[in-house]
Amino acid sequence: MTERSILRETISKLEEYEEMIAHKIRLLRDVGNLEWHATGIYLQNTYPQVYSQFVMDSNGDDATGGAGDAFAQWRLGSSLRTVDEPEEAIEMILKKANKDIHQLSNPSRHRLLKCWMSQIFSHTGKELFELLKSNNEQKQHRSNVYGEIDRRCLKNADVIGVTTAGFALRISILRHIDAKVTICEEAGQILEGHLISALLPSLEHLIQIGDHSQLRPPINDYKLSAEGPYGSHFQLDRSMFERLSTSNHGNPPLSFLNVQRRMRPEISRLLKGTIYPELIDHESVKNIPDVVGIRKSVYWLHHTNQEDSFGGDRVQKSYSNDWEVEIIHRLVRHIVRQGVYSIDDIAILTPYSEQEHKLKRQMAYQAERIVNDFESRPLTAFKVRKPRLALFLFRAQHGLFIIGNTNVAERVPTWSKVISMLRTSNSVGTTLSLRCPRHPDVRMEVSQPEDFDVLSPEGGCTRVCNR
């Protein structure tokens, strides 16, 4: 048989099994509701003498409205006076039922119904189990056929692209491909166990590309991470890429891409002084234009406004700061009003989910990208690690504006270095200096959210002009 005919036959069988499985499930449901549709079929095959009595009561009508009504009346109870009687064995009750089902007392009827339901559930359940087993076998057969088609197709391919999850799903096919080289992209964010499972027996060369100085792979239990209380024993979120890159024993060949073509030099120097001392700026980044509407393209706005208290809200478990939300909203609106940047050019990074929700509500009519990559990994001023710092700084290209309390951030060595470098260029302060594109000589210093509306209501300044 050809593959096409095998698939056609297999799919046809699967459709039959699905119909039969659905029928058995309906039977089980009807039995639970003591409906004649399911009970009658069982009585006809197992207790024909009892079944014939219900049919005779309905004048030979086996339909739901005939024998079904007779069965419904019978199970509701006997009109005979119930007397106290010892509990009979179910075999004796069945003998009496074969002679005259209507002579059974109410307790005997209830016991008989319970017996029938138990037998039907057991019998139908076994049939359903066998159908499900056969259905799964046909599905596996279909998967094998498709797998063989995929294997032949992949065998002739020069390059195969797959995620780690897709690799695990298709491992039975991929292990027959005899791949010699595996290239792993974003290797610093892949769990070591996932990468090990992708090392096929035929593998001769493994190339990992990534940055272990940025985010680690996510795991469900923070306590088992490298930063958690038991991290020194487990470090489940430490990738193979990070382990091999930082190990002092048997280091594999390692190369660094030191030239950056993304961000302005004022931003890259913060990375050079903390994480990437060998980073080199490409000539192209030296011509990146300044952020329009603000005098300094890299700036830390210091404030001491307190975070919002949880109060009586026990559901809220994340931090937020309403003052920061408001001033970020005004700052973004001011930048967009310059007419140079589109909405998609701006990204807002926040470490907490509650802050993210408030920012989204505040900017309901705008579409700025608000990114929260940290909530699954608790982040406070005392737990900031270099990978998180790299993520903060690496997102910036033309401009970088940080809003926070420098007194708290300086307790962390990496942030302290960043703040010191910013201070050498007078890029830290309690006010942010705006710049009108038409009147650059006008000084506008904002320290509160409402200052934007007063000093730069439309994105420029308050001076009257014809331009």
What is the CB-side half-sphere exposure of residue 386 using CA atoms within 13 A?
A: 13
Q: Mind giving me the DSSP string for 129-189?
A: HHHHHHHHHHHHHHHHHHHHHHHHHHHT-S-----HHHHHHTHHHHTTS---EEEEETGGG
Distance (Å, whole) CA 158 – CA 155: 8
Give the helix/strand (H/E) hosting 281: strand 280-281
Distance (Å, whole) CA 377 – CA 385: 11
DSSP code at position 294: B
Structure tokens at 11: 């799919």
DSSP code at position 411: T
Distance (Å, whole) CA 26 – CA 112: 22
Predicted TM-score of the model (pTM): 0.65
For the chain, counts of helices (H) and of strands (E): 17, 11
Structure tokens at 421: 């470098």
In this structure, are residues 202 and 178 in contact, taking their beta carbons and an 8 Å threshold? Answer: yes
Burial (CB count <10 Å: 0-12, 13-18, 19+), residue 395: middle
* The amino acid at 52: S
Distance (Å, whole) CA 80 – CA 72: 17
User: What is the full per-residue pLDDT of the chain (467 aa) written as tens digits?
Assistant: 788 888 889 999 999 999 999 988 888 887 777 778 778 888 888 888 988 888 887 665 555 457 878 888 887 775 444 445 566 788 888 888 888 888 888 888 888 888 888 888 888 889 999 999 999 999 999 988 888 888 888 888 899 999 988 888 888 888 888 889 999 999 999 999 899 988 888 999 999 999 888 778 888 887 888 777 776 788 888 899 988 888 776 677 888 889 999 999 999 999 999 888 999 999 999 999 999 999 999 999 999 999 887 655 555 567 889 999 999 999 999 999 999 988 788 888 887 888 888 888 888 755 455 555 443 333 333 334 455 676 778 778 999 999 999 999 998 888 899 999 999 999 999 999 999 988 999 999 999 999 999 999 988 898 887 66
Distance (Å, whole) CA 319 – CA 221: 20
